[in-house]
Amino acid sequence: MASRDAEKWPTAEPGRSGRTLDPARAVTIGSTSVGATVYEGAQLLMAETDDGYDQRLQVLEEEAKKLGWTVSRTPLAPGLSVVEIASAPDEVSEPPDAWRLLQHARLANRGSLPGVALDHLMASPEANPVEISHPVEISHPVEISHPVEISHPAATYGTPGSGGRQPVAVVGGPPTRRESVPGRRPVVALLDTGVAWHPWLRGVVESDVRGVDGEQIGYPHTVSFAPGTKDTEETLDGTLAPLQGHGTFIAGIIRQVSPDADIVSWRIVPDRGPIKESDWIKALHQILALVRQGVEDAEQGRADGRGRGRLIDVLSLSMGYYHESNEDALFDEILRPLMEEFGRLGVMVVCSVGNDATDRPSYPAAFAPWTAESGAAVHHPDRCRTHKDVVPVVSVAANNPNLRTGALFSNVGCWVRVWAPGAAVVSTMPRRNGGLLPLARDDKYGVERECIDPDDFTGRFAVWSGTSFAAPHVGAQLAKALQEQFRVHGVDDRRAARVKRGWDVVTAVTGIAQVP
């Protein structure tokens, strides 16, 4: 997830015009209040789920012309388009700005423009809740009286030795995985940085699953699942990318908690820079189409592999963004229906809540059913309800290693439903050695001795912290409980059976129950 506030979020990848929406300077309609967020400056997202999209596009075209800009529509996924904004060729104008155009278009359309939204740059699941360049210099490489004193107590989680990403030795073997299981194996899907080769993950992870039309899902899966290959383009200074190994680490958590589960991995998180919401949503639409086809295959008796679909039981998402507005009239009509459709197909979606130590809702995690605490039922009654035909999103926060207290960096609030281990977690890593060096080194009696090299992961295991790692822990628990359902009741992958089974498992593992 992100750093302490939206203004400190990383800039977009080269070629993207990332903008930060500053509430103190943002143009608004009247006295409407907005919150900070980061967005793609030159394009908007537009839903096409009703007959009004032509009229909405016309409003955008007319208001863009007044500002000296032009707009063009490009289909992105079924029911969704990207509206690109450019400077008119014969006009002198300010650089195109999606937020400004959206506000002008909303005002022209009686104060609202449903189905049109910013293309957010989603907070990547960063390497640590707090980034540091190297373990803190101290007077002696071994003796210290206390974890290093720093300006904010939550920042200790970013220090190797206090929960930050660092190598660790694992002396036990991999969790036992049975050669066969009753019914079928539960399937956990990851949409993250991809998964690199690791001995614990051999034969467990599938990373080449394409859409129903044969199209690639997400970015090219440059993370090779073969020994000795590179999973990312190396930097010139030798340092590891901040997200390097993130997907591999998550896959290892699932492997430990639910050893018999299968894992499907797609790559949508860049090694550097944030996630473009439009790219992410397109991948989600492709995955949804796979699952929908898989359910149809099951209902038509094609569960023998002759269908084009792919059944997924759990979808783990370790990313999110803060919506600029929580007003019902302006709230997200693009992402919420997508999450609900996964639930209607019996997919249990688990989402990390974020590492910003805030109660501000982060999405998609905040699509989980809210509790009625702190007046939530008064202000957002619809968000406290559930529907028996839709398996709910599960929002997951991070616990400390004592499993009793929440991690200080973890987001909180009535929209946070489950807490799971997410601080100083041990899991799998790609075999990589970055450019940082040990603090001290010596060579006596023919023995090379040194302090721990902070980015030498050639041992293939690491400690890491973040709500990004709490979510897959719960996802794996759901998969393990589902496997018991298969053993006791058999496998029925028709839609109605999947939804009922999903609700039973979610309630048993998380305590989230149906609320009328």
Q: How many residues does the chain have?
A: 516
Q: Where are the alpha helices (DSSP H) in 215-351?
A: 246-257, 277-299, 335-344
Q: 129, 113, 190, 199: which is closest to 162 by C-alpha? A: 129
Determine how β-strand 348-352 pairs with β-strand 394-399.
parallel
Q: 128, 163, 132: which is closest to 246 by C-alpha? A: 128
- Three-class secondary structure of residue 330 per DSSP: coil
How far apart CA 291 and CA 211 sit, in angstroms, is: 10
Burial of 33 (0-12, 13-18, 19+ CB in 10 A): exposed
246 has catalytic annotation: yes
HSE (CB half, 13 Å, CA atoms) of 367? 28
Identify the active-site residue in 246, 323, 380, 473.
Answer: 246
Spatial CB neighbours of 350, under 8 Å, sequence gap ≥ 6: 314, 315, 316, 317, 393, 394, 396, 471, 472, 474, 475, 478
- Three-class secondary structure of residue 452 per DSSP: coil
Identify the active-site residue in 3, 119, 124, 192.
Answer: 192
Spatial CB neighbours of 459, under 8 Å, sequence gap ≥ 6: 167, 168, 169, 170
Spatial CB neighbours of 219, under 8 Å, sequence gap ≥ 6: 267, 268, 270, 279
User: Helix crossing, 495-510 with 467-489: angle to 10°?
Assistant: 120
Can you tell me which residue has the tokens 């398996």?
391
Identify the active-site residue in 207, 352, 465, 468.
Answer: 468
How far apart CA 146 and CA 161 sit, in angstroms, is: 11
Can you tell me which residue has the tokens 């609202």?
112
120 has catalytic annotation: no
How far apart CA 448 and CA 46 sit, in angstroms, is: 60
How far apart CA 184 and CA 81 sit, in angstroms, is: 37
Residues serving a catalytic function are 192, 246, 468
